[in-house]
Amino acid sequence: MKKVYIKTFGCQMNEHDTVKMLLILAGEGYLETGSMEEADLMLFNTCTIREKAHHKAISEIGRAVQLKGLRSDITIGVCGCVAQQEGAGLRKRYPMIDIIFGPDRILALPELLMRVRSGGTADALDLIDDRSNYRFMDKVPAEGCAPISAFVLAMKGCNCSCSYCIVPSVRGREISRPADEIVEEVGALARAGSREVTLLGQNVSAYRSGDGRRGEGLAGLIRRIAGETEIERIRFTSPHPLFINDELIGEFADNEKLCPHIHLPVQAGSDKVLKSMKRGYTRDLFIERASKLRESRSGMSITTDLIVGFPGESGRDFEDTLNMMRRVGFDSAFAFKYSPRPGTWAAEGMCDDVPTDAKERRLSELLALQRSMSRDRNEALVGTIGDVLAVGTDRMRKGFITGRRADNRIVHFAGNPSIIGDIVPVRINGANDNSLNGELCHDGEEVQRS
Ligand code: 5AD
Ligand code: SF4
């Protein structure tokens, strides 16, 4: 069998694309390997969301190209968002790259490999913006091979025009996947052993089962999945705050299978900065949606993304962000220093005027605030019991299991690996900044969940 090494950068969408590519490649006689040295085919599924991610991908590709200098029979492919952004120009820097293809052209992989086998290079870089021409990959793993927690593509692309964001230009316009296809895939995954699915989309909250604005939205899709499949937990990522409507909030209240967690990127807490980011909402609107979400379900967890040092962000604007974080009380947050991305409105039309050291100071202040809020919220859970999906053994401690609560918190607890894949009641007895410790509730013990 031939061997493929895939290195994946970036978001869950890329992770999911990698899973799908491995399924396609299995059909072409490739087996996955974790070692670059023994690979016949090396693929780099890249991310360009921030400058740092872009550099990381480029330097890994550089390593592969060096290896190819020693072993010319290796095929090198670059896909994902750097491939889409840089296109065939990437080969100017690295002439040894054989294949360059974008996220919309994953299904072309077998054909691209064939072209390389018959000599030369192969590229597939067109974005597909027309629903009738777009085909979502629907291969699912065989029975018994499905991941405990699986990703399912609900839509692709993004029609927003946030001024800092490169995603619309590398992932194209929004296209929603037909609901029947999604329900079918979730059903198949559940039959093959998955317990939890996460519906994916760059702006998943804009999902529409029909053309344009027609058809059911995300709430309707979730209702169908809950009613028509055996899957026990449903999640989605990432939504845009503007698209969080009462119907979706109501779904959190009414649908037990929809996990009480939402990752809702806010980006900033100052109206001035939100406006120049072109986010389309105000700080008050975000706070109102977040509090409605919190009220919809007990134990609801809200996590977010934040950018510090956006062009024009003053010390006062940054204070507004910290205050907004306190008001919402995020359960956890990812935060990033702003970096200009080519072709975006902010990079072309605004000056990256917040000095690096100010960005760094703001980032560490923000992270310290979030750390203490996360710890407080985690500590408040000590003594409560929640259902935990056991996902694997704890890499740090022998005899321990790592699991995920419905609110998305990671829990470590002593247990036998035979429970992996089960949903079990766990009492929380310790809190860390980013995870919880717990103990399995024993058989026959009265379990009263909080
Ligand atoms: N600079 C810094 N952070 C960014 N993000 C997106 N674009 C940029 C940028 N140009 C962050 C946002 C987004 C997350 C995935 O990455 O917070 O939600
Ligand atoms: Fe990175 Fe965005 Fe592409 Fe995901 S969609 S891989 S985060 S650039």
Give the per-residue pLDDT at 120.
92
CB within 8 Å of 372: residues ≥ 6 apart: none
Q: Which CA distances in Å does 223 have to 77, 133, 176, 248, 424?
A: 39, 27, 17, 10, 24
Give the per-residue pLDDT at 132.
86
- Both tokens of 55, joined, read 């550099």
Distance CA 427, CA 438 (A): 5
CA of 41 to the centre of ligand 1 (A): 31
Q: Which ligand is nearest to the CA of 13?
A: 2
- Both tokens of 186, joined, read 């979730």
CA of 307 to the centre of ligand 1 (A): 6
**Contact 308 CB / ligand 2 (< 6 Å):** no
Distance spanning both ends of the chain, measured CA to CA: 52
**Contact 81 CB / ligand 2 (< 6 Å):** yes
CA of 308 to the centre of ligand 1 (A): 10
Contact 401, 417 (CB under 8 A): yes
Question: What letter does residue 267 receive in the DSSP assignment?
Answer: B
pTM summary value: 0.96
- Both tokens of 410, joined, read 């990671």
Give the per-residue pLDDT at 450.
54
450 residues of the chain, pLDDT tens digit each: 999 999 999 999 999 999 999 999 999 999 999 999 999 999 999 999 999 999 999 999 999 999 999 988 999 999 999 999 999 999 999 999 999 999 999 999 999 999 999 999 999 999 998 888 899 887 787 778 899 999 999 999 999 999 999 999 999 999 999 999 999 999 999 999 999 999 999 999 999 998 777 889 999 999 999 999 999 999 999 999 999 999 999 999 999 999 999 999 999 999 999 999 999 999 999 999 999 999 999 999 999 999 999 999 999 999 999 999 999 999 999 999 999 999 999 999 999 999 999 999 999 999 999 999 999 999 999 999 999 999 999 999 999 999 999 999 999 999 999 999 999 999 999 999 999 999 999 866 666 565
CA of 425 to the centre of ligand 2 (A): 35
Give the per-residue pLDDT at 145.
83
Residue 117: name the closest of 65, 73, 67 by CA.
73
Contact 325, 335 (CB under 8 A): no
| Atom 4 of ligand 2, nearest CA residue | 11
Per DSSP (E only), the strands in 64-107 are: 75-79, 99-101
User: What's the Rg (C-alpha) of the chain?
Assistant: 23
Mutate to test the pocket of ligand 2, among 56, 156, 170 (most ligand atoms within 8 A of CB): 170
The residue type found at 1 is: M
Give the per-residue pLDDT at 449.
61
Give the per-residue pLDDT at 137.
80
**Ligand 1 nearest atom to the CA of residue 347, by list position:** 10
Alpha helices in 118-257 (DSSP H): 167-171, 179-191, 218-228, 246-254
Ligand 1, CB within 6 Å, residue ranges: 49-50, 164-165, 265, 267, 305, 307, 336, 338-339, 341
The residues pairing with 335 across neighbouring beta strands, listed in sequence order, are 306
